[in-house]
Amino acid sequence: MPYPYHKITEEDMAHLIRAVSRDRVCIGDEIPTEYYHDEMPEYGCYQPDIYIEAISKEEISAVMAYAYEHNIPVTARGAGTGLAGGATCRYGGIMLSLMRMNHIEDADTQNLTITAESGALLTDVADKAAAAGLFYPPDPGERTASIGGTVITNAGGMRAVRYGVTRDYVRCVEAVLPDGSIVEFSSNVAKNTTGYDIKDLIIGSEGTLCIVTKVTLRLIPAPNSTRTLVMTFSSIKPCIETVPKLLQTPYVPTAIEFLERELTDIVDRRLNKPFPVQEGSDFLIVMYDGSSVDEVDAACEMACEIAMEMNAIDVKICDSPERIGSVWSARAAILEGMKADSDAQEECDVVVPRARIADFVRAAQDIGRKYKIRVIVCGHAGDGNIHTEMLRNNLSDEEWKSNTRSCLKELYAKSKELGGQLSGEHGIGSGRLEFLEDFVGSRMYQLYQSVKLAFDDRLILNPGKIIEYK
Amino acid sequence: MPYPYHKITEEDMAHLIRAVSRDRVCIGDEIPTEYYHDEMPEYGCYQPDIYIEAISKEEISAVMAYAYEHNIPVTARGAGTGLAGGATCRYGGIMLSLMRMNHIEDADTQNLTITAESGALLTDVADKAAAAGLFYPPDPGERTASIGGTVITNAGGMRAVRYGVTRDYVRCVEAVLPDGSIVEFSSNVAKNTTGYDIKDLIIGSEGTLCIVTKVTLRLIPAPNSTRTLVMTFSSIKPCIETVPKLLQTPYVPTAIEFLERELTDIVDRRLNKPFPVQEGSDFLIVMYDGSSVDEVDAACEMACEIAMEMNAIDVKICDSPERIGSVWSARAAILEGMKADSDAQEECDVVVPRARIADFVRAAQDIGRKYKIRVIVCGHAGDGNIHTEMLRNNLSDEEWKSNTRSCLKELYAKSKELGGQLSGEHGIGSGRLEFLEDFVGSRMYQLYQSVKLAFDDRLILNPGKIIEYK
């Protein structure tokens, strides 16, 4: 326990219920078990003492002020779709759901922005932008994520190659600080050098510094043409080596995803989602979009030439919505397919310099073999964010636990050696916490702790995530 | 004085000289007066006690460790081209120049990045990228700025409309902390969710949190076509109202600059740089670039149609290097022209939501009249970053000081009312420090102070910039 937190009493419960409303509060066993964990229950299941669904920043402010005064831990939660064990009450206390705060304003077509409360779903925000002819590019696999959750975890996704990650679209964040203060970081402006850039520090801070209540996001004109190519190779080497070549043309791809046959087979077998390409062992899915058909055609033509020079077996150009849909729906089903194929999984989310992707992929396969873990490499090859999926095979509980841990340690060491990072888009949460200090070094870790204290001097916000006080 | 700093003694001097080398140290009156100030001497001239030109991060580490132990203030300095009084020794102590650390590595054509030491000039970094067929987009007016200076101030510039600001291109920062520790924030990766995003907090922190020694910057494929349009209007209203319309097309402009005739006349008269358009009173300079001539032509055609709908008197399309050069060289000469035209100037660098540009411009003109200050509005209309230039006219010293202060206070209040910010790209430094707390509110200011302390618990790094301890 990092801190002698106050254990919630009947009196606290009564006060908190008065601050909100009894019909938006669950206590003890009333709390559905789905709120004990996120999409990776492997990273921890913890029962909150009290679960509160807030409907306004003022309510959140009141809850925080009380928690601050009484030393009660608080964990904010969106849709619970995280993959790092982030939105879990590791030290009990209050779970504060933002899912009822889901209002989305109409897109601002003058400023090219959209403003939404944290609990709005990413998919609804993107749809509302699209209805105004505008485009919200960030596209992490999970579109039922809350928009606030995507900001607080700096969600990445497929389209980061061309468009960047969530951070690149956040104009303004409204938040509640641990002491209950309501603040705004930046405003609806395109540039800002007014004081420290707290907004960017908040983005990706996984609910440990403040609670995000509303965000204003930058939109861009919608591209009006898109194509998806599937490049098929007979081995991994030319497949991965094609990636930097695609990035060196004047046409920036929207996405470059790497998949092995083993993974497409799992998705086909378990979820009946056949991958529309039958030959070959290694695939790149490459997407281009742009403001004109000509531009996208020229990009595709150049990409095809590169693939052929790299000895691709074939390149399929998908331009019908159905065909494009079948490719991306197979890609999107990977996590679900793996869950169906193995009773336990672990995942490594490193990011490496794009030039080192092939080195990492080779090393990951060797490390997996060494620890008898079925390792499948896939992910966002275009931005160096490689997901190394680990499936249990026939390992005993003990072997699985010990071997995945050793395997992860080696994978992280390899990433560091190649100039990479511990996590590219899923974050630290609880799941990667034990590896962080080693990875970033003790001075940097100490800096993280100082930053945490600058916001949360009583350590009550989402304790036991990102950093730990021993 | 925020802190009882230690006054440098002979013994300290001797130690610091040993840590570096005598021929790279100036003491007392040996220090050229140009190092007392930046490009805005109005914001303060202060003599350093000792001026040191470092040649390595290890030297900087040694200097910082000594300063930390002995409580001596340290201000890092690049090319001294800032406009906020940032790189000045407000409390004396050590001025640490990074200008000898100017090595630039060859562009990394696999990762599309370039790595340079802090003292390298922006123009040299951009040239070296261009030599590899790549493009470094940030383009603040001052291309002789040091690259480290552009990162630590998050320099903006003209091309931010399409390409964003310096922040958007920083992959990795090597820095020395106040206690002398050498650290790296992030690495050469396209995405990162490993711990807190300290890198973005550092960017724009104006040398108050750490000393940046090396940066790795993202490059993009060079656009191979560019056009500049000059749109001429007979009044400010249709001119400014054209801006959001240009931003709503599928073609994102690279730059949209706004100029009044009064300013082009000053530049013509004082610097003999005639603006190539003689009629009209208000101008937009609009630049498009892209990966093909067709794309840029289509963008220009749409922009011309919009200008005509908005009753522009004329639109000139510049496509020869000479013609493009004459437009941009007049634009680039504004600061110099103003300095030649008035023995004193002040500047307001607010940024407002793009939809509110016209409101701010009108208000600025009214406020200027109220305080008898000659106010000329210009700047980066495409991103809402309006530079309100103030010239002295015939005001007495006292009137000028008091009136500019009152004028600035009203301009900042107006910006806040419109949802804008205090500074869009020039930063706070010394020059805007007195206005910051009022603007952001006391809770936010307190958060800035906590963040500062998290890095610099002895308050030795560039004291009296951004925040002040009273």
Decide if B186 and A154 are in contact by the 8 Å CB cutoff. Answer: no
Q: How far is A223 from chain B (nearest CA, A)?
A: 7
| Residues within 8 A of A (CB atoms), B 61-120 only | 108-112
Q: Cβ distance A347 to A390 under 8 Å?
A: yes
pLDDT, tens digit, 9 for 90 and up, residues A258-298? 999 988 999 999 999 888 888 999 999 999 998 788 889 99
DSSP state of A438: H
Classify A345 as helix, strand or coil.
strand
Q: Cβ distance A385 to A347 under 8 Å?
A: no
pLDDT at B344: 82
Calpha distance B8→B50 (Å, rounded): 8
Best interface-test mutation with A: which of B194, B224, B432 has the largest number of A CBs within 10 A? B194
Partner-chain residue, chosen from B110, B187, B291, that has the shortest CB–CB distance to A421: B187
CB contacts of A420 in chain B (<8 Å) are 187, 189
Decide if A204 and B224 are in contact by the 8 Å CB cutoff. Answer: no
CB contacts of B189 in chain A (<8 Å) are 351-353, 383-384, 419-421, 424
Decide if B244 and A353 are in contact by the 8 Å CB cutoff. Answer: no
Strand order in the sheet with A255-260: A314-318, A225-233, A282-290, A255-260, A374-380, A385-391, A345-348
Query: What's the alpha-carbon Rg for chain A, to the nearest Å?
Result: 23
pLDDT, tens digit, 9 for 90 and up, residues A51-74? 999 999 999 999 999 999 999 999
CB contacts of B200 in chain A (<8 Å) are 167, 197, 200-201, 203
Decide if B351 and A189 are in contact by the 8 Å CB cutoff. Answer: yes
First to last CA, chain A: 8
- Mark out the alpha helices in B114-235 (DSSP H runs): 122-131, 147-152, 160-163, 198-202
Interface check for B60 against chain A (CB to CB < 8 A): the answer is no
Q: How far is B392 from chain A (nearest CA, A)?
A: 26
Interface check for B192 against chain A (CB to CB < 8 A): the answer is yes
Checking if the pLDDT of A343 tops 90, the result is no
β-bridge mates for residue B57, sequence order: none
Looking at chain A, the whole-number percentage of residues with pLDDT higher than 90 is 81
pLDDT at A172: 97
Checking if the pLDDT of A214 tops 60, the result is yes
Compute the count of residue pairs across chains A and B with CB atoms less than 8 Å apart. Answer: 265
pLDDT, tens digit, 9 for 90 and up, residues B220-276? 989 889 999 999 999 988 999 999 899 888 889 999 999 999 889 999 999 988 888
Decide if B194 and A160 are in contact by the 8 Å CB cutoff. Answer: no
Decide if B428 and A203 are in contact by the 8 Å CB cutoff. Answer: no
The ipTM (two decimal places) reads 0.95
* Distance from chain centroid for Cα B34: 19
* Nearest-10 Cα torsion for A170, A174, A178, A181: 150
Minimal-distance CA residue of chain A relative to B219: A248
Calpha distance B434→B405 (Å, rounded): 10
Q: Cβ distance A287 to A253 under 8 Å?
A: yes
pLDDT at A13: 97
Cβ of A380: how many Cβ atoms within 10 Å?
Answer: 26
pLDDT at B1: 46
The phi and psi torsions of B237 (rounded to 5 degrees) equal -60, -60
Cβ-based neighbours of B131, under 8 Å, separated by 6 or more: B107
Q: How far is A123 from chain B (nearest CA, A)?
A: 22
Best interface-test mutation with A: which of B169, B179, B196, B202 has the largest number of A CBs within 10 A? B196
Looking at chain B, the whole-number percentage of residues with pLDDT higher than 70 is 99
Minimal-distance CA residue of chain A relative to B457: A450
Partner-chain residue, chosen from A183, A224, A439, that has the shortest CB–CB distance to B444: A183
| Residues within 8 A of B (CB atoms), A 208-247 only | 220-224, 244, 247
pLDDT, tens digit, 9 for 90 and up, residues B348-387? 999 999 989 989 999 999 999 999 998 988 889 999 999 9
Decide if A201 and B200 are in contact by the 8 Å CB cutoff. Answer: yes
Decide if A195 and B436 are in contact by the 8 Å CB cutoff. Answer: yes
pLDDT, tens digit, 9 for 90 and up, residues B290-344? 878 888 999 999 999 999 999 999 999 987 888 888 898 888 888 888 888 888 8
Cβ of A382: how many Cβ atoms within 10 Å?
Answer: 29
The answer, as to whether pTM is greater than 0.90, is yes
β-bridge mates for residue A377, sequence order: A388
Q: How far is A43 from chain B (nearest CA, A)?
A: 17
CA distances, A9 to each of A26, A49, A462, B388 (Å) = 14, 10, 20, 58
pLDDT at B462: 98
Partner-chain residue, chosen from B205, B421, B445, that has the shortest CB–CB distance to A187: B421
Of the candidate ranges A275-279, A360-364, A401-405, B419-423, the one whose mean pLDDT is the lowest: A275-279
Minimal-distance CA residue of chain B relative to A210: B447
Checking if the pLDDT of A417 tops 80, the result is yes
- Whats the size of chain A, residue-wise? 470
Decide if B191 and A425 are in contact by the 8 Å CB cutoff. Answer: yes
The closest of A175, A15, A211 to A97, measured between CA atoms, is: A211
pLDDT at A1: 46
| B298-305 contacts at long range (C-beta below 8 A, 24 or more positions apart) | B298/A292, B298/B251, B299/B227, B299/B249, B299/B251, B299/B253, B300/B227, B300/B229, B302/B249, B302/B251, B303/B229, B303/B231, B303/B246, B303/B249, B303/B251, B303/B253, B304/B229
Interface check for A440 against chain B (CB to CB < 8 A): the answer is yes
* Distance from chain centroid for Cα A342: 22
CB contacts of B154 in chain A (<8 Å) are 193, 197
* Strand A282-290 relative to strand A255-260, pairing: antiparallel
Interface check for A138 against chain B (CB to CB < 8 A): the answer is no
Burial class (CB in 10 A: 0-12, 13-18, 19+), A381: buried
CB contacts of B448 in chain A (<8 Å) are 195-196, 198
Of the candidate ranges A89-103, A204-218, B163-177, B386-400, the one whose mean pLDDT is the lowest: B386-400
Q: Average pLDDT, stretch B5-34?
A: 96
Q: Provide the pLDDT confidence category of residue A336 given band limits of 50, 70 and 90.
A: confident
pLDDT at B224: 85
Calpha distance B354→B380 (Å, rounded): 10
- Rounded to 10°, the helix A261-271/A334-341 angle is 70
The closest of A450, A168, A454, A193 to B206, measured between CA atoms, is: A193
Average pLDDT, chain A: 94
The phi and psi torsions of A276 (rounded to 5 degrees) equal -75, 15
CB contacts of A355 in chain B (<8 Å) are 108, 110-111
CB contacts of B156 in chain A (<8 Å) are 191, 193
Q: Average pLDDT, stretch B155-184?
A: 96
pLDDT at B3: 67
Interface check for A294 against chain B (CB to CB < 8 A): the answer is yes
β-bridge mates for residue A359, sequence order: none
Decide if B244 and A110 are in contact by the 8 Å CB cutoff. Answer: yes
